[in-house]
Amino acid sequence: MSEAEETGAPGTDGNQPNVTTGHMSSSIQQVEASVSSPVAPVQPPPTTATEDEDESEDESEILEESPCGRWQKRREEVNQRNVPGIDAAYLAMDTEEGVEVVWNEVMISERKNFKLLEEKVKAVFDNLIHLEHANIVKFHKYWADTKENRARVIFITEYMSSGSLKQFLKKTKKNHKAMNEKAWKRWCTQILSALSYLHSCDPPILHGNLTCDTVFIQHNGLIKIGSVAPDTINNHVKTCVEEQKNLHFYAPEYGAVDDITTAVDIYSFGMCALEVRWAL
C-alpha cells in the first residue's frame, strides 16, 4: 500500500472535523432568526393629552363679551378673511342657546363721522335682525363700540361649519371629484330664493356683496347667503377702502351711480353661477 493511501487523501472523512447535526441546525436557526426579524422603527414621542388640552383651552379662552353678556368671543378665528367688509371673525358662544356663533367685527375708517353713520347702520341692521329665511345666514344681534379711540360695529351671525362655497369647490377639485349638474341647479335655485326674499322686503334690501366667498354650504347641502354688507357702510369700512377683491362680481354701475337697484345682486348671482359651473 502506498503512502498516500495510508495517510488518506485530502477531503476524506479521516481528516475532517466531526460536526454534529444538532449543532448545525442550531446555527442555521440563529442565522434565519437574525435575518427574518425586522428592525423596529423609531417612533416619535406621542403627543400627550396635556398638550392637546392646553391648545384647546387657548382657543376657547374668552376674550370679550357682548354688553348683554349673552355672547362670548373666543380666541379661535373663523376663516372669513376673503369677505370684504369683515375685518375679523371669531368663534363665539351663545350662552342662552348653548350653540356656537360667529363674532364679526367691522372697523370703521371714519371715526369722527361715526355718529352720523351710526344712525344709518342702526336703520339697516334693525331690519337684518328680523330676516327669517332658510337660505339666509341668521343675523342675531349687533352693537357699536367706540372705546379706546376706535370705532367698531360688531354683529353676531349663525355659524356655518362647512365653510363657504368657494372653499367647498376647492376641496372637491383637490379630491378630483366633480359635482353633477343637478347640484348646480339646486344651489342656484336656493341663492335666487334668498335674493327674492331680500328684494321683496319693504324697502328692498340689497346684498351688495354676493360672491362665492359669501355663499355658504352646510353638511347637508343646504345653501345660505351671508355677510350682507349694506351700501350704507360698504364705503366706510377699512377692508373695502384698503383692499378690494372679487371686483368681477360687481355690476358695472356699482359705485358709479348713487342710486343702484336690486339688479346689481342679479348680476353678481350670474357671475357666481358661472364660476361654480366652470368649477364643476
CB 198 within 8 A of CB 136: yes
Q: Which of 105, 109, 126 is nearest to 117 (CA)?
A: 109
pLDDT of residue 8: 46
Q: Please state, as a whole number, how many other Cβ atoms lie within 10 Å of the Cβ of residue 131.
A: 16
Residue where the block lists cell 345666514: 137
pLDDT of residue 215: 93
Going along the chain from its start, the domains and CATH numbers come out as: 55-279 (1.10.510.10)
Within the chain, which residues score under 70 in pLDDT? 1-57, 59, 80-85, 109-113, 148, 175-179, 228-248, 254-257, 280
| Distance, CA of 146 to CA of 12 (rounded, Å) | 108
Q: Which three cell numbers stand for residue 41?
A: 422603527
pLDDT of residue 10: 46
Q: Which of 217, 160, 213 is nearest to 186 (CA)?
A: 217
Q: Which three cell numbers stand for residue 105?
A: 367685527
Query: Tens digits of per-residue pLDDT, 122-136?
Result: 887 888 899 999 999
CB 141 within 8 A of CB 71: yes
pLDDT of residue 158: 92
Residues ≥6 apart with Cβ < 8 Å to 102: 78, 80, 89, 90, 91, 92, 156, 157, 158, 159
Strands 99-107 and 139-145: unpaired
- 134 CB-side CA count, 13 A: 8
pLDDT of residue 28: 46
